[in-house]
Structure 1
Amino acid sequence: MIAPEPKSVAAVITEWRTNSHADVLLSRILEPEAWGHPKPFGLKLAAVYADQFPENELCRSYCQKYNIPIFPTVKGAIGVGTSEVAVDGVILIGEHGQYASNGLEQTLYPRRRLFEEVVHAFRLFKKRVPVFSDKHLSYDWLFSRWMYDLARHEGIPFMAGSSLPVAWRLPALNIPIGTELTEAMAVGYADLEAYGFHALETLQCITERRRGGETGVLSVRCVTGPRVWEEEKAGLWSKALLDELTPARQAAFRDPGPIRPTPSDALFLVNYRDGLKGAVVMLGSVGSCFAFSGRRRDVKEPDAAVFMLEDHRPYGHFGHLLRAIEQMIVTGHPSYPVERTLLTSGLLSALMQSRHEGGSIIATPHLADLSYQPADWPYAPGPVGTPA
């Protein structure tokens, strides 16, 4: 059987250096065997636009090696130097690079600007192809919603998000669509924007599977430091659910150590429209751990699993993310709903505002009717490191 011709993609990126998101996604397309994949991806890199070229950049060397043109404009990359859309899809990676921060300590990555330039090229060339946008849509809710609405208006198949929903789960955790959840908590660590987004996607990829699907969020709140543990004593999140993760942490990490309060701790509280209360605890003592813990109605045993990343090259979870991107570009249909990432982008923006205001409750009427149904896209199978 003859393998189908790979689909061509244009990469629109902020920068490409060792272990950047551009590296762990685009280099996989070019050299799948070097990244541990016995089966190549059904994609070929046709052109690149890079916003920045740091001293340690890899973009020029990779593109020279594989005869891939680098264009000074997004339009040039989409057209591969022609006056038409000359690719089957676009991978937008607006992560890493030297960009300013705002007063909420959010890095102002130009994802909205780059997406606008992609759509401008589509309009000029009178053709639309699928677009994947890495991580959250934007640091700003209005920019995120604008990107989502523009994609819908233009009829662009659009997907975005984190690698956490497709990462390994220890132990295996399958929440059937339609499950009635009574408690839901995610665990994360480190920077509240860059890594807090991953933790929110960890929470959301489970809570969206509850009975009725996602129906929206009424309000959020973020507190930090000792107040995290004061809120636990007040019953706003469950230390018992955190403790349920102990066996999974012990299985996943050689010496996970005890969880204890630290000055860098933070708590995200998410008040869902249908009454579910979600929580994310970002803990300085948890190690490099993302996890989910929750309860189903009338089920005695809790659901508790570490969402496991491969924390060294070849960073295999990005291979599983790339398979989802590949599926969208090959079929023209998103592998899972972009609404998940629209919601997590809005949550994160509001939570950063709450932190800036000292832990105020932020009403989110703009998220209250953000409803969608989940998809059954699989997470990474087998032991950690199993290649996609």
Structure 2
Amino acid sequence: MHAAENKRRLKIAAITTIYFKYSHAQHIVDRFLEGYSWEGRHHRPDMDVASLYVEQVGENDLSRERLKRFPGMKHAETIEQALTLGTGSLAVDGVLLIGEHGNFPVNEKGQTLYPRYEYFKQIVDVYRKSGRTAPIFNDKHLSWNWKWAREMYDTAQKMDFGFMAGSSMAVGRRMPAVDLPWKAKIRESLVMRPAWLDGGDIHTLEALQAIIERRNKGESGIQWVEALTGDRFWKAMEAGSWDKGGWDNHLMETAFTRSNMIQVVRNNYGVVLPTVADLKRMAPQSYAYRFQYNDGTRATALAFQESPGQGRILSDTPVAVRLKNDSIFSTLVYLPYYTMRNFFNPLVNHMETLFSTGKSPYPIERTLLTTGMTAAGVESLFQKQKRIETPHLAIKYKSTEKSTFWRT
């Protein structure tokens, strides 16, 4: 039996690494506590955060203040306590698993070892002991470790509970507010974003995947990935096409024209299209991931890494797609100003759907795939830009015909 099947006001457990201003925990949990703007009104979720577990409490901690202001939200010393509310059995209807931010080790590949898998295991242990389950939302990628990510997915499937994950980039606003036509036939796609190894890569790939998974035969999974940096990156850019070892530069140009936060790249100019020379001068440590999909689709993720003291080339995430008829679809995944960050609104709204229905409003397989794509891209960089074959990423799924990004 799923706890979310009950009709009473739902109880949610929040499991977090840390809780400070602009942390993911603050963004997500605060919206459940305070509400958020939605479709021209202030929306308050019809469910309550019943418990809060925070692993790391620093000088800038906000969790203790929130616990005082919302006495119905109980402080939990352990994850088990957060889920059982001291009853000895599962006593909540949904779980927020927010393993982002905080002081955690970084491995030799540059991945931060956030304990999402470890948290998930503890949550599932409570489910097994209780003989029932509740839906889980997992913030960002499932884990830095592919095998652990796959185990998380397989466990949710076997135990049959709602599982939703991913980045706000997949469901945020777009400029223009368009989606790839349903069952469109495409050849190649490109997404670009400021460089941030692993933690930023997942945002980039979620933005891309949420669009191109709508293609004509659905998602087919990834055949191989190849990371490029240094001289190979610039040679690939100058090559101008996928078949020559690079990417479609018309897609890159289109993506730049969609950017709403592009920097002035030359003195005494306003905003102009950057040349390869401009990019090489300003962002010499940039890198790219080239993905070959099993159905022949091609995708490139560009990450611009600026020199120290140099401003970002761009600060947003445009996407461009070459269709089979040679036309180009493009849009900008739009993030508002830093202090506003209301792009968490649609993500939280989808979490409400997960908890109230017991089902994710979009496929968990998307984030399983982007988790694997991120890990494989990082591995290719670590192995000196070696092409990595990815038979484990032959993940097939169908998207929803109805768009799930924020339109209003």
Q: State the TM-score, normalizing by the size of structure 2.
A: 0.88
2:254 paired residue number: 244
Note the 1:172-321 alignment, pairs <5 A.
172-234=177-239, 235=241, 236-250=246-260, 258-259=273-274, 260-261=279-280, 262-284=283-305, 285-298=312-325, 300=327, 302-321=328-347
Q: 1:151 aligns with which of 141, 156, 178?
A: 156
1:386 paired residue number: none
Q: Distance in 1 between matches of 2:361 and 2:56?
A: 30
* 1:311/1:194 CA distance change after superposition, 3 Å: farther
2:119 paired residue number: 114
Q: Distance in 2 between matches of 1:95 and 1:356?
A: 23
Aligned pair 1:54/2:79, yes or no?
A: no
Q: 1:134 aligns with which of 128, 139, 146?
A: 139
2:397 paired residue number: 372
Aligned pair 1:90/2:95, yes or no?
A: yes
1:385 paired residue number: none
2:81 paired residue number: 76
Q: Distance in 2 between matches of 1:28 and 1:207?
A: 30
1:177 Cα deviation (Å)?
2.5
Q: Distance in 1 between matches of 2:297 and 2:164?
A: 26
The amino acid of 1:117's aligned partner reads Q
1:328 Cα deviation (Å)?
0.8
1:335 paired residue number: 361
Q: Distance in 1 between matches of 2:215 and 2:154?
A: 25
Task: Decide whether the 8 Å contact of 2:142 with 2:149 is kept in 1.
Answer: yes
Q: Which runs of 5+ in 1 are unaligned?
A: 383-388
3-state secondary structure, aligned to 2:205 = helix
3-state secondary structure, aligned to 1:76 = helix
Task: Decide whether the 8 Å contact of 2:257 with 2:273 is kept in 1.
Answer: no
Moved more, 199-208 or 130-139: 199-208
Moved more, 142-151 or 312-321: 312-321
* 1:88/1:206 CA distance change after superposition, 3 Å: same
Aligned length: 377
Moved more, 108-117 or 186-195: 186-195
Task: Decide whether the 8 Å contact of 1:213 with 1:371 is kept in 2.
Answer: yes
Q: 1:26 aligns with which of 25, 29, 48?
A: 29
1:299 Cα deviation (Å)?
5.2
Aligned pair 1:353/2:379, yes or no?
A: yes
1:5 Cα deviation (Å)?
5.4
Moved more, 227-236 or 158-167: 227-236
Moved more, 141-150 or 65-74: 65-74
Task: Decide whether the 8 Å contact of 1:218 with 1:365 is kept in 2.
Answer: yes
The amino acid of 2:376's aligned partner reads A
* 1:342/1:132 CA distance change after superposition, 3 Å: same
Q: State the TM-score, normalizing by the size of structure 1.
A: 0.92
3-state secondary structure, aligned to 1:183 = strand
Task: Decide whether the 8 Å contact of 2:100 with 2:114 is kept in 1.
Answer: yes
Q: 1:325 aligns with which of 351, 355, 373?
A: 351
Q: Which runs of 5+ in 2 are unaligned?
A: 1-6, 265-269, 306-311
Moved more, 52-61 or 132-141: 52-61
3-state secondary structure, aligned to 1:115 = helix
Task: Decide whether the 8 Å contact of 2:262 with 2:313 is kept in 1.
Answer: no
Q: Which runs of at least 4 in structure 1 moved beyond 3 Å after TM superposition?
A: 33-37, 250-259
Q: Distance in 2 between matches of 1:170 and 1:38?
A: 23
Alpha-carbon deviations, 1:290-348, whole Å to 9, x = none?
Answer: 11101212253x11111011232331110110001111111111110110000111111
1:63 paired residue number: 67
1:172 Cα deviation (Å)?
2.1
* 1:200/1:166 CA distance change after superposition, 3 Å: same
Task: Decide whether the 8 Å contact of 1:173 with 1:303 is kept in 2.
Answer: no
The amino acid of 1:104's aligned partner reads K
Q: 1:7 aligns with which of 10, 13, 29?
A: 10
Q: Distance in 2 between matches of 1:305 and 1:237?
A: 18
Q: Distance in 2 between matches of 1:213 and 1:108?
A: 32
Alpha-carbon deviations, 1:138-161, whole Å to 9, x = none?
Answer: 001001001101111111110100
* 1:48/1:377 CA distance change after superposition, 3 Å: farther
1:39 paired residue number: 43
* 1:165/1:253 CA distance change after superposition, 3 Å: farther
Task: Decide whether the 8 Å contact of 1:189 with 1:196 is kept in 2.
Answer: no
